[in-house]
Chain A
């Protein structure tokens, strides 16, 4: 295992975040905080409690998950897309580095940033809404697993993308709608029966449900199913990344 290579990639990526703090950390925290202000402190007080939880507090796990998903994908996608775009990928391809080491470096850094971001948003939320975390270790497990899984997904996106438009397309036009329609602002049983069935096809629902359970002990689907869905997606992403490096898809000619 080329540990020095993993460390070099990881540190370079973390340093890049340090140079773009406004875009990487401050901007997502501020935009999420606006939700807490509007739906928590302002409108939230006029909306009845859901499952014994105030509306402002209810939306916190969903909003953290929304930010976690979009930022994990974006950060990992940009991390591998930029070397392709700039041409510096030649160094990665010519180095004695295995696909596993490359992935650990890039995905590890993106997941770390996403988890830090999630924890900052959580801390910020506590200023606006009353928060409780019933199962803190499970909360951390969901946070870390989701960050890793979607960073892997972002890595695949970054390899696949051949332009900036495609990089933006998935987080903005696929993940964000799925998160909004996956129970960020409501529970499944608040929907008409037909839409309840449709919503169950949304994979993000399982992530938000499991994450919310770790906060308040209430969930739309069983926790085991939520965990299973994350692990399934993780395995699928790992298989795709393994195939990319084996074939050199969009990396090696």
Chain B
């Protein structure tokens, strides 16, 4: 197996459920080894179906999926042994202990018991003190970490996290991000779906946007932000204005906060942003200002724009 073999290679994957619902429509995607890839999309876009097919939970439709070169249908055993999955829901056996449930997962994936590894895993996820506790006694956050421990019990090379921080408080979410980064540093490929755009923005090397079963965009997070993102300049005025000065009328300028702030939207990646001219025009018009600030549009705004763009029927 070549080191250049992608972690995941999906070509023209489709899926139509027995109900007639088309969940995936010709999805092609390559995920490189060792990257963190975020899959974004609204509810029902096909994210979970895509993950479920790769992991073997849902029967695949037409197309092909390979995990580190292994076909998920023909070489299913080899492919699955490379994958760890943290599902969206907290599915656990309530009466099983943390230690037993994690050890069970390791055995299920065909590996001999390795107590030292399981111990390290539980320590890394701050679950060691709870190793003898029954699952039903754990908090939601702890259960979520046990799910991660179960998914890592067989030392997978590709980890799928389906909405890993849904319903998790901010502190725990940041803790999980640390865990994911550590995994990436150890060479694990991480694919996550998330509703929290900031999570993708913060974590992902690349982002794929899925909508109505089709992959509408795949881009490095930074590139996507610079290509589709816009910046906003806010000029806090000394005196409020009733209307945008004539000299600025041709620019994309608006008034906010009862005339106390002038807002200018511009393309950060453009050769000429227009900021210099805007400030010069303000000077020329005699408009005094107190402060200037800029704000980058979030991935969320980019995502909403992308989806709306598609819904409007644009190519």
Contact = CB atoms under 8 A, between A and B. Distances in A.
Interface of A: 2-5, 7-9, 11-12, 15-16, 19, 82, 86-88, 90-98, 248, 252-253
A93 B56 contact: yes
Interface stretch (B36-44, B79-87, B272-280, B295-303): B79-87
B177 interface: no
A97 B108 contact: yes
B47 interface: no
A8 B108 contact: yes
B81 A91 contact: no
A252 B111 contact: no
Interface in B105-145: 105-112
Interface in B11-39: 17-18
B284 interface: no
A5 B108 contact: yes
Given A90-B55, A98-B77, 20 more contacts: A2-B110, A3-B110, A4-B110, A8-B106, A11-B107, A15-B100, A16-B95, A86-B91, A86-B93, A86-B94, A87-B87, A88-B91, A94-B56, A95-B80, A96-B76, A96-B78, A96-B110, A252-B58, A253-B18, A253-B59
Contact of B85 (A9, A90, A252, A253): A90
6 contacts: A86-B92, A87-B87, A87-B89, A91-B150, A94-B83, A248-B59
Contact of B108 (A87, A92, A253): A92
B20 to A, nearest CB: 13
A96 B58 CA distance: 14
Interface residues of B, number: 35
B23 to A, nearest CB: 10
A94 B83 CA distance: 8
Contacts of A9: 108
B289 interface: no
A40 to B, nearest CB: 37
Nearest to A20: B95
Contact of B93 (A88, A93, A252): A88
A2 B80 CA distance: 13
A90 B103 CA distance: 16
A83 B254 CA distance: 58
A58 to B, nearest CB: 41
B266 to A, nearest CB: 47
B104 interface: yes
Residue among A15, A90, A96 facing the most chain B CB atoms (10 A cut-off): A96
Contacts of A91: 85, 91, 105, 108, 150
B8 to A, nearest CB: 15
A147 to B, nearest CB: 24
A81 B153 CA distance: 24
A89 to B, nearest CB: 8
A87 B162 CA distance: 15
B107 A7 contact: yes
B57 interface: yes
